[in-house]
Amino acid sequence: MPTGATERSDASSATGNRRLRAVYRRELQDSVLFSSLAVTAGIAVTAMVACLVAPGTALAEIAIAAPLVLTGLGVAQTVPCRCRRYVIQLGALVGFLPMLSMASIAILVPPSAPIALGSAGLIPIAFAVFVPLQRRPHLIWLVTANMLFLVPIAIFPSSATWSRDLPAFGFVLAVASGVSLGANEIQLRRRQQMNGQLLAVRGLYARMKEHEQDLRRQDEFLFMQQETLVVQQAELLRLNEELETIARLDALTGLGNRLRLNEDLAQAAARIERHGGTVGLLLMDLDRFKRLNDAAGHLAGDAALRGVADVLRKTSRIGDGLYRYGGEEFLVLLHDCDESVLESAGQRYISAIAAAGMPHPDNPPWNLVTASAGARELSQRNCLDIDAALHDADEALYVAKASGRNRLEIHAGPGEVVPIDQHRAAS
């Protein structure tokens, strides 16, 4: 239960709030409109009753009631759309209308004074439903309203039947003033509760707005995080692709390594098994390469390996695979290659390596870097045993080494290695 100090603090805070002031002003407008219509109707009904009871006073009653009714109707017409800043003053004016009506009738039409006594009940209507004033302004209004009634009667005592009507008027005024004070006090307490509720709602709304802003910021942060994750995933995929590529390349020469060779051979064998065709295996070994390393150093040997790799790239066809088989050995995978194409391609590679002119003093009689090669055709007859095909190419290579180097030998079939000269003669 809020204390009085808390209620006053809430009330002052609510009064200082623009939105709450707008709510109070609209409530004031509605209340003043209701009060003006009620008071105007009461004055008009009182005048009609007086005219019926005392027809001789009808003109005077109408003359007194008409301006007051028109004033009340004017306030009712003005308050909803104009003079919003003066709504309290207009409400006070509405509250004075019953007092003016009673005083005017008591002074100017004494026979109708008892009837005017009934209009005194309109005083609490004017301010009991009206949005409450603070206690001091409300007391000032009540005193002013009572004085507005009593002073004219005191000035014109002969116009009133004091012995009979004045106590009744005083009683009605006292009851009406008490009802107005009580209603105003109830409205003040209601207003304090309303202030607290409105401020609580306003605080809840502010917290909801802050929570909404926090959620929006979190959404933006999560969106940025999602974008960052998408970029990171794309970068990770790219790096993985690069790593997969690097894992299948020889670091020194940039040619495919044994892992890449095994994958490509498996694909070629599967393709040959399903669709037929042939693939040529050309295995090359640099002649007397160990002497080059011993005489000129490993850096010279690495340079020779890189040079041979460049020669292979320039000499190869589009689609052929180039690999560093191991050490100073290289392998070329020639697609759609029969024995005649394999022979011409092998001679082309060997001649290109010698023609590159890379010096090798310990490789007589050429004194250049040369290579010996062994070849084997891979077809549907032997595609299911790749290791055997590689072994056949290696046997042909050693035959080329034993036959004088810088030459090509082709492994023609099972257990048979045909020197290139004999092969040419046979073909």
Domain ranges of the chain: 4-212, 258-426
| Average predicted confidence (pLDDT) for the chain | 80
pLDDT at 213 (0 to 100): 92
- Name which CATH class applies to 258-426: alpha beta
CA distances from 145 to 97, 102, 169, 251, 418 (A): 9, 11, 13, 108, 137
Q: For residue 387, give every residue at least 6 positions away whose Cβ sits within 8 Å of its Cβ, in sequence order, or none.
A: none
Q: What is the pTM of this model?
A: 0.49
Which regions of the chain are under pLDDT 50? 1-16, 127-129, 131, 158-163, 420-427
Instruction: Give the span between the Cα atoms of 169 and 356, in whole angstroms.
Output: 135
User: Active-site positions?
Assistant: 328
Does 365 sit behind a cis peptide bond, omega within 30 degrees of 0 on the bond before it?
A: yes
CA distances from 178 to 88, 131, 181, 189, 372 (A): 21, 17, 5, 17, 128
- Strand 321-326 vs strand 329-335: parallel, antiparallel, or unpaired? antiparallel
CA distances from 41 to 45, 75, 223, 299 (A): 6, 13, 66, 118
The CB density around residue 291, as the number of other CB atoms within 10 Å, is: 14
Which structure tokens are listed for 9? 């603090």
pLDDT at 3 (0 to 100): 39
Contacts for 160-166: CB closer than 8 Å, 24+ residues apart = 160/106, 160/107, 160/110, 160/113, 161/110, 161/113, 165/106, 165/113, 165/114, 165/117
